[in-house]
Amino acid sequence: MHGQNYEEFILGVSGFLTAYYVFIAIMNAVAALYLWQSGRAKPLFRFPIVGFMVSTAHIWVIVTAIFLMLGAGATNGGASVLSLSTSTRDLIDSWMNPITYSLGTLGILSVVFVARKFFVKPIVAWSLLNLSLLFMGLSMTDMEFAAIVMKPDNVPIVAMIYLLGYFTWLGAYRAVQNDERIARGEQPLESLDNEKVLVWPDLVYTELICMIVVTAILLLWGVGLMAPLEEPASTVQTPNPSKAPWYFLGLQEMLVYYDPWMAGVVLPSLIVGGLMAIPFIDFNPKGNGYYTIAERKFAYCTFQFGFLVLWVTLIVMGTFLRGPNWNFFGFYETWDQHKVQALNNVDLSQYFWVNLLQMGRPKAPDGSSTAMTVVYIAVRESPGILLLLFYFVGGPPAMVIYNKFFRQLFLRMGFMRYMVLSNLILLMGLLPLKMVARWVVNLKYFISIPEYFLNF
């Protein structure tokens, strides 16, 4: 991709874009055909004069035609026209920073969750899919965007985003259906379809087909995308940017905000341990064997927050928005090695002693004993230690006292389970809190004891 001028790049990308748009057109055509043939097309409105009834199938036929025209336009040298305007791209870039990205994602997901009855409608979800694909297509004519998205490493991540969207939609769609049925006093859909099936042929055939499909995809993937090999490894030369495997990008992002032993050892262990503790914490029999959100709001939100916001969002951010020197770059921004980001991280103890109290940080006099040094360090870091103690010791009872929901949880779960749950939730909440604190006030560590490799 690099080393090309824009004309060469457009020429190369137009062939891809044509196939891309035609693929979307075929997708919509199949959807329209399916709706029409199965009789599931919903009538939308009637043309006033002609009296022609427009249904969803007609809409998708029109969309098919639009994408076909886009494909035809792309192949005839119109790819450079079929792109977002420079001002739009600059606007998106200027709006992109860690805060807007993370909080924006959280906000969008919250809106989707609250208005899930609207967003899970097939027509809405399908429209959103089409819009996102169109956005991708229009963005592909940007060199920087294409360079990131078409990097062999990153293609599977793009596929993963769509797969994840599909499965999240599927779960929410069925949950919304079940919730409506339960509200009407009916049984969930899954309990109607509890007929037993045989291992042979039902399960084995399914597995065989899955095996063949996965093998085919892997073959195509291996043939189509070159292995992302780089220059020989060297102990004195680190690639810039140096990125973890995609599934660890969330971890790498965490490492930006925490000490290595914290983000690399303690927090991952807590993630694993917390997942293992779920059967111990969650003994609610509701939702066993059927999709539901309304009956399991807390569990659903906690999981989706931990997974979608704290893991997937960070993977996407690490893949597409982190560039050289681990700086933050917008979708269309050039990866400039020398981008200057004014970051001057300050420890909490520095904020407290120097900025607030206008005095030096407590420092043990030269030649004092080890015990005395430790005491001085404890005094120096007391603001952070007290803050975290307050958070972790005061948090669980405060939640019980001030929140009705947690009070009920406490009464139902008992002391031990509640403490495990509340501490895990507080720990999970500390990550975004720390990230926001880093972005907003350049906070480095709550507790910073580099003398003993203890930073939090």
Partner 1 sequence: MSVEEVLAACRQQDGGGGGAVPEPPAPAAQAAPPPEPTAAASKPAASAAKPAASGKKPGAMSVADMLAAARGEVSDDAAAPKPAGKKPAAKPAAKTKAAAPAAEAKQPVGPKDTMSILAAARGAAKPGPISKAEAAARAKESPAPKKEKPTAPPMPAKPDYAKVAPAPAVDQAERRGFLVACAAIFAGTFFVTSSLAIGFSSLAVTSLLWVLGTARFMFPNILAEPPTVFTVGFPDEYAPGQVVTKFKAQFGVWIVRYEYEGQAQIYALESVCTHLGCTPNWLDGEQKFKCPCHGTGYYKDGINFEGPAPRPLERFAIRVADDGQLEVDKSRKFKEEVGQWADLASYVSV
Interface residue list for partner 1 (CB under 8 A): 234-242, 252, 255-260, 263-264, 324-327, 337-338, 340-341, 343-345, 444-445, 448, 450-451, 453, 455
Closest distance of CB 322 from partner 1, Å: 8
Closest distance of CB 380 from partner 1, Å: 13
Closest distance of CB 330 from partner 1, Å: 16
**16 neighbors 37 (Cβ within 8 angstroms):** no
Instruction: CB nearer to partner 1: give 5 or 344.
Output: 344
Instruction: CB nearer to partner 1: give 222 or 450.
Output: 450
Closest distance of CB 455 from partner 1, Å: 5
Residue among 133, 136, 93 at smallest CA distance from 335: 93
Instruction: CB nearer to partner 1: give 89 or 322.
Output: 322
Instruction: CB nearer to partner 1: give 195 or 451.
Output: 451
**How far, in whole angstroms, is CA 296 from its chain's centroid?**
22
Instruction: CB nearer to partner 1: give 160 or 255.
Output: 255
**353 neighbors 362 (Cβ within 8 angstroms):** yes
Is 2 exposed, middle or buried, given 0-12, 13-18 or 19+ CB atoms closer than 10 A?
exposed
For residue 45, the surrounding DSSP H or E stretch is strand 43-46
DSSP string, 185-197: TPPPHHHH-----
Distances 410 to 209, 278, 404, 406 between C-alpha atoms, Å: 47, 16, 10, 6
Closest distance of CB 268 from partner 1, Å: 14
**292 neighbors 179 (Cβ within 8 angstroms):** yes
Closest distance of CB 242 from partner 1, Å: 5
Instruction: CB nearer to partner 1: give 237 or 355.
Output: 237
DSSP 447: S
Instruction: CB nearer to partner 1: give 187 or 345.
Output: 345
**299 neighbors 171 (Cβ within 8 angstroms):** no
Instruction: CB nearer to partner 1: give 283 or 453.
Output: 453
Closest distance of CB 271 from partner 1, Å: 19
Looking at the chain, how many residues does it have?
456
Through-space distance between the first and last CA atoms of the chain, rounded to whole angstroms: 41
Instruction: CB nearer to partner 1: give 16 or 335.
Output: 335
Q: Give 210's contacts (C-beta < 8 A, 6+ positions apart).
A: none
Closest distance of CB 353 from partner 1, Å: 17
Closest distance of CB 350 from partner 1, Å: 11
CA atoms of 68 and 385, how far apart (whole Å): 62
Phi then psi dihedrals of residue 447, to 5 deg: -115, 125
**176 neighbors 116 (Cβ within 8 angstroms):** yes
